[in-house]
């Protein structure tokens, strides 16, 4: 996975791999009438409930994938831009709470 990326980019280029942003939906995904109703940042115990891979949290796949990507990038000059951990706390900034609930078929 990493070798083709390394070959295509000039050696002196600063390279970043951005990790996935977390989901904060209740009642299904956003396109299935799920919603994000938090109005303040999550606290540490809530993070474990929502995101810890041992709890089968909503972001289990993203965390597992991020871990695999981190292992694959080890020893390369590609830097990881970890938006995931920072964004997990900020469920209150999810745009759906400000845009209103949308029809799943719209």
**pTM for this structure?**
0.60
Domain count, the chain: 1
Residue 27 lies inside a defined structural domain of this protein: yes
In sequence order, the 6+-apart residues with CB closer than 8 A to the CB of 7 are none
User: Quick check: is 105 in a domain?
Assistant: no
Residue 95: which domain range? 15-99
Q: Residue 90 has what pLDDT?
A: 66
Residue-level pLDDT, tens digit, the chain, 106 residues: 788 888 888 888 899 888 876 766 656 555 666 666 666 777 777 777 766 667 666 677 777 888 898 999 999 999 998 877 777 666 655 555 555 555 555 4
Q: Is residue 44 part of a domain?
A: yes
* Residue 104 covered by a domain: no
User: pLDDT at position 94, please?
Assistant: 57
């Amino acid at each position: 996975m990493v070798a083709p990326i390394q070959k295509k980019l000039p050696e002196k280029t600063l390279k970043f791999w951005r990790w996935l942003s977390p989901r904060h939906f209740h009642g299904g995904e956003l396109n299935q009438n799920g919603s994000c109703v938090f109005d303040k940042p999550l606290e540490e115990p809530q993070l474990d409930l929502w995101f810890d891979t041992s709890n089968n949290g909503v972001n289990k796949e993203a965390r597992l994938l991020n871990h695999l990507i981190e292992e694959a990038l080890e020893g390369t000059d590609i830097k990881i831009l970890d938006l995931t951990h920072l964004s997990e706390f900020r469920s209150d900034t999810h745009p759906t709470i400000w845009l209103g609930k949308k029809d799943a078929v719209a």
